């Protein structure tokens, strides 16, 4: 019998990591990463990757499994995450899936089927040149022409996703939106989803403070290291926390402007995360606004909620 996976979601800087460690220790379990960029080695500060000290001995999976130069698709993640969930479940452990990349998490838990399509690096480079020379709007116009459904789902500024959608169409002749059979896909794994939220102004204050802490901790040097490897067009370089510094490294904007843009993008991303999760998954939400000085009390409340749910499920 499959163990019920505990899923912890929510926007950046809301407290997911701290809660996951507490629950993993209480349930004697292990944690599965649900963040699209923590899979990359060396991308530590940018992704707020958990440190050895923060992990407190809890085993984490699907972290540092790819080089920044390597592509890693949602289909790759789906395969690896399911294998990990199956292994933990077979060992009698309750998997704890934690992260903010909603589509990755849902792809692991539901029967999404992705059409296979070989990558075409030459065509991808061609599209990237168009984006650089003509702007992202030119690419998005192409996407709206060949796959209007995908164009409704992908933000025009998400150049990586726009390019991927065009690449799939170019290679397969079928729309990127057809990769998923339908929106009412079958659930494969039993799960209980815990969502963390927070009053918006406080969340934004925490996000801004986190960016400042990252800068003090060496984020600029980390981003420069990826940039200097010639990976400006790689998937990894599109992470929030790296792409904002490309204009600074290119000498076209001051550092202060890049940092300000990073804070803005991080706040907007948090808003999109909350919107996505509220629309896409069944979640029990817990407000973390008033628990900054007493996290353990809220964590205990969540633990008791999970235990009660487990008792009803037996």
Name the residue ranges covered by the structural domains of the chain. 5-112+188-313, 121-179
Q: Label residue 222 by pLDDT band (50, 70, 90).
A: very high
Tell me the DSSP string of the chain.
Answer: -PPPEEEEE--TTSSHHHHHHHHHHHHT-EEEE--SSTTBTT--TTTTPPPHHHHTT--EESSS-B-TTS---HHHHHHHHHHHHHHHHHTT--EEEE-S-HHHHHHHHB----------HHHHHHHHHHHHHH-HHHHHHHHHHH-HHHHHHS-TT-HHHHHHHHHHHHHHSS-GGGGSS-SSPPB-S-EEEEEEE--HHHHHHHHHHHHHHHHHTTHHHHHHHHHHTT-TTSGGGGSTTTGGGHHHHHTSS-HHHHHHHHHHHHHHHHHHHHHHHHHHS--EEEE-TT-TT-HHHHHHHHHHHHHHHHHHH-
pLDDT greater than 50 at residue 183: no
**Confidence label for 173 from pLDDT (cuts 50, 70 and 90):** confident
Structure token digits, residue 101: 């990349």
Q: How far is CA 61 from CA 58, 77, 97, 146, in A?
A: 10, 11, 9, 38
Topology match between the domains 5-112+188-313 and 121-179: no
Structure confidence by residue, pLDDT tens digits, 254-307: 999 999 999 999 999 999 899 889 988 999 999 999 876 789 999 999 999 999
In CATH, what number does 121-179 get? 1.10.20.140
pLDDT score, position 18 = 95
Give the CA count within 13 Å in the CB-facing half-sphere of 219.
24
Residue 46 pLDDT > 90: yes
Q: pTM here?
A: 0.82
Q: What is the pLDDT of residues 78-136, one digit of tens each?
A: 999 999 999 999 999 999 999 999 989 999 999 877 655 556 878 888 888 887 778 78
- Token pair 């500060």 is at which residue? 45
| Interval 142-150 mean pLDDT | 89
pLDDT at 116 (0 to 100): 56
User: Which residues line the annotated binding site?
Assistant: 10-17
Annotated binding site for ATP: 10-17
- d(Cα 54, Cα 69) in Å, to the nearest integer? 27
Give the annotated binding-site residues for substrate.
12-17
Please count the CA atoms within 13 angstroms of the CA of 159 that sit on its side-chain side: 25
CATH hierarchy code of domain 5-112+188-313: 3.40.50.300
d(CA 246, CA 268) in angstroms, rounded, equals: 19
Predicted confidence band of residue 182 (pLDDT cuts 50, 70, 90): very low
């Amino acid at each position: 019998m499959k163990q019920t996976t505990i899923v912890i979601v929510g926007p950046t800087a809301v407290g997911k990591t701290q809660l996951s460690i507490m629950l993993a220790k209480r349930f004697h379990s292990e944690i599965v990463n649900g963040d699209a960029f923590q899979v990359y080695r060396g991308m530590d500060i940018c992704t707020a990757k958990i440190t050895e000290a923060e992990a407190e001995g809890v085993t984490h999976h699907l972290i540092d499994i790819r080089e920044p130069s390597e592509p890693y698709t949602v289909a790759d993640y789906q395969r690896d995450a399911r294998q990990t969930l199956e292994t933990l479940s077979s060992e009698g452990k309750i998997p704890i899936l934690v992260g903010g990349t909603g589509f990755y998490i849902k792809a692991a838990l539901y029967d999404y089927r992705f059409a296979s399509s070989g990558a075409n690096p030459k065509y991808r480079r061609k599209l990237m040149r168009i984006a650089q020379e003509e702007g992202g709007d030119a690419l998005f116009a192409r996407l709206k022409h060949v796959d209007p459904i995908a164009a409704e789902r992908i933000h025009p500024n998400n150049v990586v996703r726009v390019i991927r959608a065009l690449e799939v169409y170019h290679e397969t002749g079928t729309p990127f939106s057809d990769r998923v059979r339908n929106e009412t896909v079958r659930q494969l794994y039993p799960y209980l989803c815990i969502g963390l939220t927070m009053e918006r102004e406080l969340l934004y204050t925490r996000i801004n403070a986190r960016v400042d802490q990252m800068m003090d901790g060496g984020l600029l040097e980390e981003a420069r290291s990826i940039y200097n490897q010639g990976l400006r067009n790689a998937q990894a370089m599109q992470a929030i926390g790296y792409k904002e510094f490309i204009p600074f490294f290119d000498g076209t904007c001051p550092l202060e402007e890049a940092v300000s843009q990073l804070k803005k993008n991080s706040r907007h991303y948090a808003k999109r995360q909350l919107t996505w999760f509220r629309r896409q998954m069944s979640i029990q939400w817990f407000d973390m606004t008033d628990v900054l000085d007493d996290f353990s009390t809220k964590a205990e409340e969540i633990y008791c909620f999970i235990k009660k749910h487990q008792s009803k499920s037996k």
